[in-house]
Chains A and B, each alone.
Chain A
Amino acid sequence: MSNIIDLKLVELVDKIKKKELSSTEVTIDFIERSKKSKKLNAYISENYENAIKKAKIFDQKPDFKKKLPGIPIAVKDLFCTKNIRTTAGSKILENFVPTYESTVTQNILDEGGIIIGKLNCDEFAMGSSNETSYFGNVQNPISENLVPGGSSGGSSSALAAKLTPATIGTDTGGSIRQPASFTGTVGLKPTYGSCSRYGIVAFASSLDQAGPMTHDVKDCSLMLEIMSNYDTKDSTSVEFKRENYLDNLNENIKGKKIGIPKEYRVDGMPKEIDELWEKGIEIIKKNGGEIVEISLPNTNYALPTYYIVAPAEASSNLARYDGVKYGFRSKGENLIDMYEKTRSEGFGDEVKRRIMIGTYVLSSGYYDAYYLKAQKVRRLIKNDFDEAYKKVDAILTPSTPSSAFKIGEKLNDPVSMYLNDIFTVPINLAGLPAISIPAGHDKKGYPLGLQVIGKAFDEQSILNIAFALEKNISFKNNITDWWIK
């Protein structure tokens, strides 16, 4: 039999259900490998001992009706986990221990999942390379000194390196799909309102969504099924019929109309990405899908819109970090001085930069020129998609305009870092579901992804299209375990 860590999530579940493997064996193997992989810096907090205890308890009285029977899983450190430290990658929450569980992690626990640790991420999920984390850079298992993407960089690294059989991330402007694309893994951002935001450290509330990150589309369908539910604790949670995504998964895309937006052919995009896109188009045609040229005319305005809306919401969400009730506090001469020093020392540079952008665009005299303008353009961007979906069932694009870059390469140029999210940000603005699947390599051997964007609440269709693509692409990640001596 192959090694436990090489098994996909669905295979692990199956083997535990058939009693070929115990939860304890599986949990120990992933933990042992995590211990040997400290060099990746994927974890912020470990929950190893507790997890093994829970696995043993599961094995004593196993419940095989659960969807994740005794499965170990590490999660992004943006999800509040009861009694397990939750930092959001920030110094300001370095010692914060939540008294409650996020709905999404509770769903995982309810299905028998066991949390083995909390994974590194950009501070408050603000970043595209995991370099803004207070807890340090994360290595991409693909190659040394390569970023794993961000903000869910610890998640993508841990998954690709097989430290966890599946994981979860959050996606505000591409934070699941871009790291998935950089590490040769699958990442899905559900429709806004699909997964509850309760207990997720808030960044930009009208854009944030939690979603699965997995080795393949089957695993992704299973995780989505577990994570997604209507939740009264999140006022923007949407009541709609959730599918049995895994049971319904099928590769038949005959007659499906797939849109190719011409605006996504950006200048300077590497040739390999264009070829990858063509390859995707050919596969769709070969499998009976119909390719339709579409236009999303306001695509170029998505990033500037995002860099008003997201910081504005962040500046108001992060106002709560005042050093009073929880988190880091700095000494001050008076209350105001204490606030100012606490926030100055507790937040990193990128977070401060975004709070200040947000404060500025919301401030008196500038609100109409920036914030209101951005909300109007956001409507135009959403209208583009509404128009397109009159003609097509889904849209196919590359996931990112480049493959993973070196650590430090883009750190001093915020705008060039932001451009990384050019293909993912419009989807968050429109609240749509989208999945990134690994589809090939560039000439350096780094993975590249394709993105399938769906209609709101139609996750099943994009999973099916991704499944068909996956079967025809047969992508293989080249990971050499270079970080294990």
Chain B
Amino acid sequence: MTIDLKTVKHISKLSRISIDDNKAKKLGKDLNSIFSFIEKLNELDTKNTEPLTSIAETTLKLRKDEIKSENIREDILKNSPDKNKDFFVVPKVVE
């Protein structure tokens, strides 16, 4: 299997990472070498194997939905790249 330039561009779109043509070519090369190495898994018959989704195969515990940290709005907003009063600011999304 080979991953062509169009596919690389498509994955970059899905990943929300913009890349130019030069980078896309280089990345395509890397991805192809990594995927040819991954293809090895096809040697194995896994028809009757259950997937292992988590190593701690227990049901997740429930806990009460309680507020544990209060009055941290200021601190949280300090990390924001752009804010206005109590809000995070993003480029306009509604015309």
Q: Give the interface of A toward B (CB within 8 A).
A: 95-97, 99-100, 192-193, 206, 232, 235-236, 238, 298, 300-301, 303-305, 307-308, 315, 319, 322-329, 332-341, 343-344, 347, 352-353, 355-357, 359-360, 363, 370, 372-380, 382, 414-415, 418, 430-431
Given contacts A238-B56, A344-B18, contact A376 B49 (CB under 8 A): yes
Q: How far is the CA of A189 from the CA of B7 in the complex (A)?
A: 37
Q: How far is the CB of B53 from chain A (nearest CB, A)?
A: 6
Interface members, chain B 23-48 (any A CB < 8 Å): 27, 30-31, 33-34, 37-44, 46
Q: How far is the CB of B60 from chain A (nearest CB, A)?
A: 5
Residues on A with beta carbons closer than 8 Å to the beta carbon of B78: 97
3 closest A-B pairs (Cβ-Cβ)?
A: A431-B55, A375-B51, A326-B79
Chain A residues lying within 8 Å of B90, measured Cβ to Cβ, are: 324, 335, 338
Asked if A333 and B56 sit within 8 Å, CB to CB, the answer is no
User: Closest approach, in angstroms, between the C-beta of A388 and any C-beta of chain B?
Assistant: 16
New contact pairs (8) apart from A300-B40, A357-B31, CB-CB < 8 Å = A232-B63, A329-B81, A333-B91, A344-B19, A353-B34, A376-B52, A378-B51, A382-B55
A57 to B56, CA, bound (A): 41
Q: Report whether A340 and B18 are in contact in the complex, using a CB–CB cutoff of 8 Å.
A: yes
Q: Contacts A300-B40, A352-B17, A363-B14 hold; do A99 and B93 have CB atoms under 8 A apart? A: no
A380: contacting residue among B44, B60, B63, B82, CB under 8 A: B44
Partner of A192, one of B41, B43, B50, B56: B56
**Interface readout for B2-32 with A: 1 if CB under 8 Å, 0 if not?**
0100011001101111110000000100110
Q: Once the chains are docked, how many angstroms separate the CA of A472 from the CA of B16? A: 54
Residues of A near B58 (CB, < 8 A) are 238
Q: Indicate whether A192 sits within 8 Å of B16 (C-beta atoms), given known contacts A325-B88, A376-B49, A415-B37.
A: no
Contact B17 A307 (CB under 8 A): no
Residues on B with beta carbons closer than 8 Å to the beta carbon of A97: 78-79
Residues of B within 8 A of A340 (CB): 16-18
Contact B31 A360 (CB under 8 A): yes
Contact of B52 among A100, A304, A326, A375 (CB under 8 A): A375
Q: Is the CB of B38 within 8 A of A304?
A: yes
Tally the A-B contacts, defined by beta carbons under 8 Å.
159
B86: Cβ under 8 A from any A Cβ: no
Q: Are B56 and A372 in contact, with the CB atoms below 8 A?
A: no
Q: For the complex, what is the distance from the CA of A192 to the CA of B53, rounded to whole Å?
A: 13
Q: Cα distance A193–B37 when bound, in Å?
A: 30
Residues of A within 8 A of B8 (CB): 356
Cβ contacts under 8 Å, A303 to chain B: 37
Contact B18 A373 (CB under 8 A): no
Residue of A nearest to B68 (CB): A233
Give the CA-CA distance A107 to B34 in the complex, in Å.
Answer: 39
- Whether A334 contacts B93 by the Cβ 8 Å rule is yes
The interface residues of chain A lying within 8 Å CB-to-CB of B17 are: 340, 343-344, 347, 352, 355-356
> B84 in the interface, Cβ–Cβ < 8 Å?
no
Interface flag for B75 (CB, 8 Å):
yes
Contact B79 A343, beta carbon cutoff 8 Å = no
CB pair A360 B11 closer than 8 Å = yes
The A interface is mostly helix, strand or loop, or mixed, namely helix
B76 at the interface (CB under 8 A from A): yes
Q: Are B18 and A100 in contact (CB under 8 A)?
A: no
**Is the CB–CB distance between B41 and A374 below 8 Å?**
yes
Task: Kindly list chain A residues whose C-beta atoms are within 8 Å of the C-beta of B37.
Answer: 303-304, 307, 415, 418
Which residue of chain B has its CB nearest to the CB of A378? B52
- 13 A-B pairs with C-beta separation under 8 A: A99-B79, A301-B41, A335-B90, A338-B91, A353-B27, A353-B31, A373-B42, A374-B41, A375-B53, A376-B52, A378-B51, A415-B33, A418-B34
CB-CB under 8 A from A326, the residues of chain B are 79-81
A326-B80, A356-B15 known; A99 and B49 CB under 8 Å? no
Is A370 in contact with B51, judged by CB distance below 8 angstroms?
Answer: no
B85 contacts chain A at the CB level, 8 A cutoff: no
The answer to whether B16 touches A96, judged by C-beta atoms less than 8 angstroms apart, is: no
Contact (Cβ within 8 A) A307 B34: yes
Residues of B within 8 A of A100 (CB): 69
User: A414–B52 contact, CB under 8 A?
Assistant: no
How many angstroms between the C-alpha atoms of A325 and B76 in the bound complex? 8
Whole-angstrom distance from the CB of B8 to the nearest CB of chain A?
Answer: 8
User: Which residue of B11, B82, B93 is within 8 Å of A335 (Cβ)?
Assistant: B93
Cβ of B53 and Cβ of A430 under 8 Å apart? Answer: no
Chain B contacts of A328 at CB under 8 A? Answer: 81
Judge whether A325 and B30 touch: CB under 8 Å.
no
Contacts of B18 in A (CB 8 A): 337, 340-341, 343-344
Chain A CB within 8 A of B72 CB: yes
Give B59 Cβ to nearest chain A Cβ, in Å: 10
Most chain B CB atoms below 10 A, which of A298, A336, A337: A336
Q: Could you tell me the distance between the alpha carbons of A147 and B73 in the complex, rounded to whole angstroms?
A: 41
The reply to whether A379 and B16 form a contact with Cβ atoms under 8 Å apart is no
Cα A100 to Cα B72 with chains together (Å): 10
Residue in A301, A333, A378 whose beta carbon sits within 8 Å of that of B40 in the complex: A301
Q: In the complex the two chains form, what is the Cα distance from A357 to B32 in whole Å?
A: 10
Q: Inside 8 A of B88's CB, which chain A residues have their CB?
A: 324-325
**CB-defined contacts of B16 to chain A, threshold 8 Å:** 319, 322, 336, 339-340, 343
Contact B34 A357 (CB under 8 A): yes
- On chain A, the residues within 8 Å of B33 by CB distance are 414-415
